[in-house]
Amino acid sequence: MEKNNEKRDNLIEVFHPSWLNYFGLFFLIVISIVIAVMFFINELQVWSYFFIFVAIIILLRAVFSRLTYTYTVTTSSVRSRIGIIAKHESEIRMSDIREIGIEQSIGQRVFGIGDVYFASAGTGGVEVVFEGVRAPSEIRDRVNGKRDSSETDEKKRCPQCGELIWIEARVCPHCNYQFEGK
């Protein structure tokens, strides 16, 4: 069974949030550096070093934040992993995805980034979120394409009623057609 899952679970793409998602933090870095230069010109080195330190902390925050979010799309699922040491992982199988949504603020639309939401039929809410990713509509379209193809790859059509059923099924649950062999 595991070998069968390995064949179905081919990696399509692994990505992180876009650097443009951290535009606000980079803007704060620039402001901190400008203030540090102004204090340095006015011979207030202590304050200058303080604002350089603030800029470095903000930069480390942006880099660390980006690296802690990992999004994976495979042929059989979408996954979101948050964290390096302590982790929070969410996954939905392609066949269980009920809805894929995109949310973009005005700033995100300007930069071509957004959040992609994946919801399954199992719960009433959203299980997996890809935050601040570049080209969210392309990701949605690619996952929709894989979801549609995975439904037909894992299922067969009943010759009597025409319904899609699991490949492993020996009896059609809709019309009770008996399949021969395995």
Per-residue pLDDT of 53-63, as tens digits, reads: 999 999 999 99
Buried residues in 145-175 as b, exposed as e (16+ CB within 10 A): ebbeebeeebbbebeeeeeebeeeeeebeee
Residue 4 has pLDDT above 70, yes or no: no
For residue 146, give every residue at least 6 positions away whose Cβ sits within 8 Å of its Cβ, in sequence order, or none: 12, 73, 75, 94
CA max distance for the chain: 88
Higher model confidence: residue 159 or residue 114?
114
Full set of structural domains in the chain with CATH: 2-156 (2.30.29)
Q: Residue holding tokens 């990713």?
A: 133
Residue 182 has pLDDT above 70, yes or no: no
pLDDT for 28 equals: 95
> What is this structure's pTM?
0.70
Per-residue pLDDT of 18-67, as tens digits, reads: 999 899 999 999 999 999 999 999 988 899 999 999 999 999 999 999 99
Predicted confidence band of residue 171 (pLDDT cuts 50, 70, 90): confident
